[in-house]
Amino acid sequence: MGIFEILGYIGALMIGVVLGLIGGGGSILTVPVLVYLMALNPVTATAYSLFVVGVSSLVGAIKNMQKKLVDFRTAIVFAIPAFIAVYATRKYLVPAIPESLFTINGLEITKNIGIMLFFALIMILASVSMIRKNGAGSSENNEVHYNYPLIILEGIVVGVLTGIVGAGGGFLIIPALVLLAKLPMKKAVATSLLIIAIKSLIGFIGDIQNQDIDWTFLSIFTALSIVGMFIGIYLNRFINGEKLKKGFGWFVLLMGVYIIWSELA
């Protein structure tokens, strides 16, 4: 086992730790770890990321269900268009992307480079969401209100983005649940985990039909992420999650810039 592979498995553990500590964001690390440390191509990495993100989020969602924090009605309204969109994206859209997209000043932008550049853009948007100080969100006593057309539209958009980059999209889902369904912040975070789990795992089904999956590797990587998540949940008792979230946001921003530089260099 080489040094990069060892670092990759440590990265799997850290993905879970970040998820456990700050309740999101860890999935944004999965694709870079799989591509740059495990040497997988971006299409395979985004597929494996969907499985890792889906299983890890499901574990978190089950814990939140036990605390009665999940709003199932909102989850269903959001998740149905999202999982249809992510499945269609993985099954039909990603395989249909041509291997060579275009050329700029002699530099050929291939499918793999294009996916990583798009992923880097999503990382930068996610980092801005983490760095900015969150507002209080909806009051815990507010009545839940459903703006069905906008929730469905947001579900489709998040589903397509998730299908392309293999990340959960929590930084898009949580604000949508707070603004469009008027969910309190704690319920929005808890409900988003269930939505992420459903759409990621159903999206991964589209990949099973298109790709050969290394189940041994994927199982080990996912198991390490889940172990890391429980470590993060434990450490969360002693660490200020909000301060950590802002610091992690700056790290994700630097990672996004690095990916753009490395892909275009």
Element holding 103 (H helix, E strand):
strand 100-104
- pLDDT band at 141; cut points 50, 70, 90: low
Q: What is the pLDDT of residue 149?
A: 84
- 182 contact partners, CB below 8 Å, separation of at least 6: 138, 142, 143, 144, 145
**Per-range mean pLDDT, top range of 45-49, 137-141, 214-218:** 214-218
- For 12-34, the pLDDT digits (tens) are 999 888 877 776 666 788 999 99
Q: What angle do CA 124, 125, 128 make, to 5 degrees?
A: 85
- 215-235 helix and 42-66 helix, angle to the nearest 10 degrees: 40
- For 59-117, the pLDDT digits (tens) are 888 988 998 989 998 899 888 998 899 889 988 998 999 999 999 888 899 999 999 99
Rounded CA separation 70/177 (Å): 12
Structure tokens at 213: 């999956």
Say yes or no to pLDDT of 221 above 60.
yes
SS3 of residue 91 by DSSP: helix
* 105: phi then psi, degrees, rounded to nearest 5: 50, 45
Rounded CA separation 184/141 (Å): 8
* 138: phi then psi, degrees, rounded to nearest 5: -75, 150
The CA-based diameter of the chain, rounded to the nearest angstrom, is 58
- pLDDT band at 140; cut points 50, 70, 90: low
- For 37-58, the pLDDT digits (tens) are 999 999 899 999 999 988 988 8
Say yes or no to pLDDT of 136 above 50.
no
Higher-pLDDT residue of 180 and 161 is 161
Query: How many CB atoms sit inside 10 A of residue 31's CB?
Result: 28
Q: What is the pLDDT of residue 113?
A: 93
- Tally the C-alpha atoms within 13 A of residue 164's C-alpha that lie toward its C-beta: 21
Question: Against a cut of 0.85, is the pTM above it?
Answer: no
Return the amino acid letter for 211. Answer: Q
Which residue stretches of the chain are H helix?
3-22, 27-32, 42-66, 72-88, 94-96, 111-131, 148-165, 170-180, 185-208, 215-235, 241-264
- Report how many domains make up the chain: 1
Q: Which domain holds residue 206?
A: 3-264
Decide: 75 and 191 in contact? Cβ < 8 Å: yes
Return the amino acid letter for 225. Answer: S
